[in-house]
Amino acid sequence: MSEYKIEVIWNYLYGFTNDTPQWYESIIAIMPSLYHLQPPSARKIWINRFSELYNESEKNQLVPLGDDAFHEVESQEFDFFFRAKENTEMIVVYQRLIDEIKKWRKAFSQHYSLLAIPNDCGELVIERRYGTENKDLYLNKDNAAVYEYFRNPHSKKDFEEMFGKLDIDELLHRFVEERIMVFLDDRYLSIACFPTEYKWTKYYQQPSYAGGKLFEERGDFNGI
């Protein structure tokens, strides 16, 4: 969406009846890598009577929000909106989620950016901007080809089936450590935004594309 300059307003929902810490911890761990993308708001869910989630939930695990919580007419004679009963194990996890989303929103408001700038030789400069902090990474042709393959989520097995068994473990680990790629559910995904012809028309402005001089300031990524 960011590459196509589409503004996204979305919520990260939490508070389901069967929540487990593991569901959230893996997502919380990758959030610092996503600061260049439009952040969500954290919202604890309401469960509506007669909804599929309500019908599937154990009723003793639901707590009514009270009369007139939202739709006054519909909630006068019976409870219409519910939340999952508070799970003490999840309180700390939920707070961590909320705190991380706040950090994400703050970083995005300060114009954090992560751009992949290609040149005619097939190389990439990964340009990072966060306030006054700038750090650019140079990817040679081989590394850039690996990075571009993972612009769609793939497993390492997917890569090997297409290109053969190349030793890319260290490279993928480095991409993840540098927060230009995420690893989730056994798949890797490159997360830098590539240049497109689309432009922001309001609210957010993508930073200027890097000049050719950046390719002279080469970092320490090695070839495969």
The candidate with the shortest Cα–Cα distance to 144, out of 165, 116, 114, is 116
Least confident of 62-71, 120-129, 180-189: 62-71
pLDDT band at 221, cuts 50/70/90? very low
Query: Which candidate, 128, 125, 105, places its Cα nearest to that of 116?
Result: 125
- pTM for the structure as a whole: 0.76
DSSP lists the bridge partners of residue 190 as: 181
The two structure tokens encoding residue 186: 């056994």
Query: pLDDT tens digits, residue range 4-36?
Result: 667 888 999 998 888 899 999 999 999 999 999
Q: Which residue has the higher pLDDT, 212 or 40?
A: 40
Residue 193 near residue 125 (C-beta atoms within 8 A): no
- Report the percent of the chain where pLDDT is more than 70: 79
